[in-house]
Structure 1
C-alpha cells in the first residue's frame, strides 16, 4: 500500500526507495494508459477519414493529425508546467480530461457537419495525445538509473491494450453512433471520450504519492554529497545540453516520420477500395508495434545503451518506408507489415530518446525540460501530419513513405558523434 494509509509517513528518502511505492505508481499509470490508449487510437483510425468525408478532399486529410498533434504541443507545455509546480498527478489528470472534452467536440462537429468545429475540437482532442506521452516520464521519476528505461517501457506498453482494442472497435462503435443518429465515423470518438475521462479519474484519485514530488523531497533530504551537480561547471552544462538535444532529435525525427506515413495509410487503403475494418486492423497492428515491444526495448536500452537502440530506430523506419512504398495499395499483409515496422522504429526512438533525456536532466528542471522536448515532438508530428496529405495529393503515397524512410536516417550521424564522444 502507499503512504496515505499510514498514520505516520516514513521519511521521503525511505518512501522513495520502497519498491512497493514504485510498483503502486506503475500500476496506476498502467491502468490509465490502457484507458487512454483507446482514446488515442480513435483519432488515428478515423480522424483523416472524417475530414476527407466532410471536406471531399484528400489534400486536407492530413489536417486532423496535424491539428491534434498541434494541440498536444500546447498541452505538453501546460501539463509540464503544472507537473513542475504541483506534481504529475494534477497535470496528467487535467490533460486527459481536456482530451475527453475534445472528443465530445468532435462528435458534435460530425453531427452538425461543421468542419470549423471539427478542427477546433481536434485541436483540443490532442491534449490526450500529449498526456499519453507525458505519462512515461512519471514512471521514471522514482526508478533507479539502471532501470529507468524499463520503467518507461512499462508505462508505454500499457497503451497497447487500449490502442489495439480501439481501432478494432471502429465498426461496433460506428454501429452505436448510427443507433444514436450520429455519423458512423463519430463512433470511435464516443469510445475516446469515455476512455480519456476514465483515465483522468484514475490518475486524480489513485496517483498518490506523487512520484515527482516524492523524488524531489527524497533528493532534498539526501546529503549534499549524494546529490548530483549537473551544472557545477561549464563542461557539465555543455554535456547536459548536448544530451538533451540528442534525445530530442531522436524523438522528433522518429515522430515526424511515423505520423506522416501513418496518417495517410488509412486514406491510401480507402482509395484502393479497402474498408474501414481493414484500415482499423492495420492501425491496430501499428499501435501494438508502437507500444508492445516496450519491455524488450527498455531492456535493450538498459543493457546496450540508448545510442545503439536509437540507431536501430533509424534503420527500422527506413525499412518501413521502403516496404510501404513498394507494397500494392490493395495488399493488406504488406501494408500491415510496413506499419508494424513503422511502429517498432518509433518505439525504439521514443524509449531510447526518453532515456537519453531523463538521464541528462536534474530533478529540479526535469519536468519543464521534458515538456519543452515534448512540444518539439508534437510540432514535428503536426508537421508530418499536415505535410503528408499534400505530399500524397501531389506525388502519391509511395513518395511519402520512401521519403519518410530517408528522413529517419538523419538521426544516425548525431548518434555516431555522441558514441565517439562517449568512447573518448
Structure 2
C-alpha cells in the first residue's frame, strides 16, 4: 500500500508542478492583454469617438467583458475541462485583437469597442489561471503555486508596454493598429503552451470531500467563503478605484504626464514583484495574516495620499497600494481555494471572480466621475472605512485559527 500511495503522490506532484509552469508561461502572454488595452484604449478612443466623453469607453468595455465573462468561463471549464476552456479563451483573445485592429483600420469606434469587450472575455479565462495552479495541491504547495503564477503577471506588465512601443506604427497610417494585432499574436502563442496542461489527480486528503457539491447559495452562506470573497473584492476593488483616478489626479495637481506614467509603472511593479516570495510568506504566517497585512498597506497608501500632493506622495501611495494588492488579493485567492471541494470549484471560483471583477468594473466606471465631482481626497477617504470593514473579521479569523495561522 505504501508503494502505491507514494506512486500516486509522485504522479500528482509531477502533473501539478508541470501545470504551474505552464500556467505561469501562459500568464506571461495572456496577462499582457489587459495592460495593452488599458494603456491604449483611451488614446484610440479619443481618435475614433465622435463624443470626447466616450473616449474611455473601450477600457470600460474591457472591464465589463471581464466581469460578464467570469461565470460563462467557469461553466465552460466545468463542462469541458480547464485545457479546453483556456484554449477557447486564447482563441477569443486572438479574435479580439484582430477585431480591434479592424476597428482602427476602418475608423470604427463600435468595432474597436467590440474588440476590447472580447478582450475582456479573454481576461476572464486568464484571471482563473491562478486557481487552476492549485489543482492537485494542498496546503503550502497550493499557496506557493498561486504566488508563482502571479509572477507571470510581472512579466506581462513588462511585455505589454514594450509591445505597444515596438508595434504602434507597424501598420502605416493606422496608429496603434499594430499593437492590437501583436496582442492577438500573443494570445495565439499561448495556445500551444496551454495544450501542455494536464489534469492532476486529486490528493488523497481531498478524496474524502470530493463528493461534496453544495448549492452556490449554501456556499455564499458560509462565513469562511464569504470572508474570502469579500477580501478579494475589497483588495482588487480599492486598488482599481484609486489607480484609475491617480493619473488624472496627478495631472490635475500640476504633475507631468511622464511623472504620472512613471508612477503607474512603479505601481504595477509593486503589484507583481512580491509574487516571488508571497507564497513563502503565506506558508509561514498564514494566508489570512498576509491578506490582513495587504489591507493595512492599502489603508496606509490612502493615508500617504491624504498627507500631501507632491509627486513623492503620489508615488509612495501607488507603490504601497500595489504591495497591498499583492498580499491582499493573493491571500484572498488562497483563502477561496481552500473553501470548496474539487466538485465545487467551478461554482466557487466563478462566483468569486464575478463578484471581484464586477466590483472592478464598477470602480473603473465611477472613479473618474467621483474624482471630477469630489476630488482626490474623497477618493482616499473612502478607502479607509472599506478597509476597516473587512480587516476586523479577517483579523478575528486569523486569531482564531489553530497556532494563530
* Range class of TM-score, shorter chain: 0.7 to 0.9
- Residues 3-31 of structure 1, C-alpha deviations (whole Å, 9 max, x = no match): xxxxxxx9997266443322221221111
The change in CA–CA distance for 1:36 and 1:232 in structure 2 (over 3 A counts) is closer
CA distance in 2, matches of 1:418, 1:134: 25
The change in CA–CA distance for 1:168 and 1:265 in structure 2 (over 3 A counts) is farther
CA distance in 2, matches of 1:293, 1:117: 38
Higher RCO, Cα 8 Å, sep 6+:
1
8 Å Cα contact 1:63/1:386 also seen in 2: no
* Residue in structure 1 matched with residue 369 of structure 2 by the alignment: 390
Unpaired runs of 5+ residues, structure 2, are none
Unpaired runs of 5+ residues, structure 1, are 1-9
CA distance in 2, matches of 1:353, 1:182: 42
- Residues 44-64 of structure 1, C-alpha deviations (whole Å, 9 max, x = no match): 323344435545878656544
For residues 9-408 of structure 1, the aligned pairs below 5 Å read 14=8, 17-52=11-46, 54-55=48-49, 63-176=57-170, 179-184=171-176, 186=177, 188-203=179-194, 205-207=195-197, 209-211=198-200, 214-215=201-202, 227-228=208-209, 241-269=222-250, 272=254, 274-275=256-257, 279-324=260-305, 328=309, 331=311, 334-408=313-387
Q: Secondary structure at the match of 1:183?
A: coil
- Residues 292-350 of structure 1, C-alpha deviations (whole Å, 9 max, x = no match): 21232212222211221111121111222333455647x3x553433222222111121
8 Å Cα contact 1:164/1:285 also seen in 2: no
- Once the two structures are overlaid, the 10-residue window that deviates more, 132-141 or 334-343, is 334-343
TM-score, length of structure 2 as denominator length? 0.85
The change in CA–CA distance for 1:376 and 1:162 in structure 2 (over 3 A counts) is same
CA shift for structure 1 position 413 = 2.1
8 Å Cα contact 1:139/1:151 also seen in 2: yes
CA distance in 1, matches of 2:275, 2:193: 23
8 Å Cα contact 1:312/1:348 also seen in 2: yes
8 Å Cα contact 1:41/1:287 also seen in 2: no
CA distance in 2, matches of 1:376, 1:387: 17
TM-score, length of structure 1 as denominator length? 0.82
CA distance in 1, matches of 2:100, 2:301: 31
CA distance in 2, matches of 1:305, 1:343: 20
CA shift for structure 1 position 422 = 3.7
CA shift for structure 1 position 136 = 0.6
Q: Give the number of equivalent residue pairs.
A: 396
CA shift for structure 1 position 361 = 0.4
- Once the two structures are overlaid, the 10-residue window that deviates more, 348-357 or 115-124, is 115-124
8 Å Cα contact 1:156/1:294 also seen in 2: yes
The alignment's C-alpha RMSD in Å is 3.3
- Residues 346-404 of structure 1, C-alpha deviations (whole Å, 9 max, x = no match): 11121111111111101111122101110111100001000112112222344324433
CA shift for structure 1 position 239 = 10
- Once the two structures are overlaid, the 10-residue window that deviates more, 28-37 or 263-272, is 263-272
- Residues 134-159 of structure 1, C-alpha deviations (whole Å, 9 max, x = no match): 00111111223232110111111122
- Residues 226-249 of structure 1, C-alpha deviations (whole Å, 9 max, x = no match): 61379699xxx7898221111100
8 Å Cα contact 2:94/2:184 also seen in 1: yes
- Once the two structures are overlaid, the 10-residue window that deviates more, 146-155 or 32-41, is 32-41
* Residue in structure 2 matched with residue 5 of structure 1 by the alignment: none
